Structure 1
Amino acid sequence: MKKNLFTLLFLLLAHFMFGQIPPPPPEPPAKEKINSDKSSSLRMYGEEVQAVFPKFNIPLSLSNDKKSIYYFKNVEEKIIQLDSTVTAEQIISLTKFNISKNNIDPTLLDSLANRTYKLNEEKNYTDAIKTAQILLKKSPNNITGHKEISLAYKKIGEENLSAKHLGMMSKIITSIFKYGDGNSENPFLINNFFEGFSIYEAAYRCKPKKVTLILDKKQRLLGAYNGYSAAMDQILIKYSELSHWKPQLKEGDYTVLK
């Protein structure tokens, strides 16, 4: 029987976030041929394949409309307040709006995410919380920010705050999965590179062993995360949309598909 997606994701996140080892920064991409992932089983552990994905049809203009439920400042405030009524469409609209307005500095977000990981690994939970708060101020719907601050709050006994951030993280990832499965045609829409690691850990019970940056024929910069999931007994290749990172990269940092 197919489990409820939100419930399963919440349990998987709870399993993976505690005692987590921070992922390494990406290695320079290898010059290799990237095979199509269309034959892969693109599902969360324990979930059935979702054959059809809805089109995201919320226009960007609504994110600038103060009267709209998608007005970006109001959506940010709902997430900051850990308001569980925030919708998948509001979450995705915020990411799309910030990307379109160049409000996201993915390199800075990765730096803050990596720093927060290390602080939690060093059991410096107070500084981990402070760093995660900076990350979430710059990127309120950031998966890694909510995950790491939830872990830190858990470790210092703030169970209520920990649970609220864990719930928000689960809602964000569920929103991403509503509009993409990691297929090259339907890549995950994320704020920065390290969010891709968080998705792998939560959804597939593994960490990517290799990441290749690809400029595809549509001129999209995709991160191809490659890892073996023992839980699924599969080698998985999942793609995330990282085109907003491209201006900060130089020639040779990614593979160009011909």
Structure 2
Amino acid sequence: MTLPQTPSFRLDGKRALVAGGSSGIGLACAVALAEAGAEVTVAARTAGKLDTVVQDMRAAGFGADAVAMDVRDVSGTEATVARHGPFDVLVNSVGTAIHSPAVDTGEVDFDTVSDINFKGAYFLTRAVAKGLLAAGKPGSLINITSQMAHVGGPERGVYCGTKFAVEGFTKAMAIEWGKQGIRVNTICPTFIRTPLSEPTFNNPDKVTWIMDKIKLGRVGEVNDVMGPVVYLASDASALMTGTHLMIDGGWTAD
């Protein structure tokens, strides 16, 4: 009898672009991909922080370099990806939130969140896909969205709207590029403890709401996303496209 073999979770020989990789979830994803053998390019707006990340990753024995990139600049993003690509793997962890009651949402805040979470994500994903299509290569494109891409929440109308939008274009792009072997998926974390989320965790009422929703009884840590991102980037998930991994501690179970 020939026993089946588990597909490899390794990423040796793969090049990965991690946008928003200088801190938080993005940094954890960059480290996870590098641990699995990928050569990782870390991208963010702040060059100084990127240099520190790359130095630390190289000191740990990982293959890493950095590029400054602002996803709000569509033409600049496309030029950067074309210059440094093609990339076999994309992880887009760039995102922002400005919460307010829907009746108080201002147009400037709406545009700020949309330009990063939706428009920026769309054109970044497209840019990496264009490089793969031109090179005739398969790939795995991953956008970090949120559990709030599948449910609603108070004072989160714009944020939820943008994250739902990313889930929508993920399905459409997966259909378009599937025959070329380009997979497009999302990871949907619950509330993850990062420097950006600390104001939320400092609000007792919000913590009560969060803990009531998370069935496992704890908030997320960045390492909760590390295994899932390696899975989606690797051949272990070779038949997954146009879908999502929900890392929400059971929030969306009911």
TM over 0.5, shorter chain: no
**TM, length-normalised to structure 2:** 0.27
**TM, length-normalised to structure 1:** 0.26
Q: Comparing both chains, which one has the higher relative contact order based on Cα–Cα distances under 8 Å and sequence gaps of 6 or more?
A: 1
